[in-house]
Amino acid sequence: MNKKSIVKIIIPVCVILIIAGIWIIKNADKSMENPIYSKEGSNTHPDDEVFALEISSLDLEALKSHELPIILDFEADYCSPCREMKPALKAIHEQMLGKAIVKYIDVEKSSDIASDFPIQVIPTQIFINADGSPYIPGDKVGIEFTRYSYRETGEHAFTVHQGGLTLEQMQMILKDMGVAE
């Protein structure tokens, strides 16, 4: 082989190795950003499915197992108050990534999920404490909530807010739930 043939082979191989190296470095950095440690010590990244905002299926017990406060927001694209609240919901989701689980459920696309909860109007939010119990608002929150109980036992089942919430209101609720900013 002459030198021209060797150069024609070595240059593309070097370019491929450089691109592969950059890709590996970028992906290695992502796995180290904002790690969340579960009870067992396994590393869960906030980009995982658990922290996705929009969902089409819900395993509430699996979410509760992460021992983080949960906000379930039931909305629909056709709903004007829902569209007004959506930027605040996205903002709180980004701010609380890894500190709380925020879920958006479209009642049109996922009516099966909505049927498991006391949804009378949209938007409606359901709040669950990090220990899996229904959130009980403190005196200083100043937002109207509805508490639902199981008929058979009278046990508190859900704490619900009907209507839109602002970013500041969601921050205040999460702070009341024990989430540090």
At residue 42, what is the residue type? S
Q: Would residue 79 show up in a list of annotated catalytic residues for this protein? A: yes
d(CA 114, CA 126): 11
Q: What is the dihedral of CA 26, 32, 35, 37, to 10 degrees?
A: 130
- DSSP conformation letters of 88-143: HHHHHHHHTBTTBEEEEEETTTTHHHHTTS---SSSEEEEE-TTSSBP---TT---
Strand partners, 55: 105
Q: Give the burial class of 2: count Cβ atoms within 10 A of its Cβ; 0-12 exposed, 13-18 middle, 19 or more buried.
A: exposed
List the catalytic residue out of 63, 79, 107, 172. 79
Asked if omega into 87 is within 30° of 0 (cis), the reply is no
Q: Would you name the residues annotated as active-site residues?
A: 79, 82
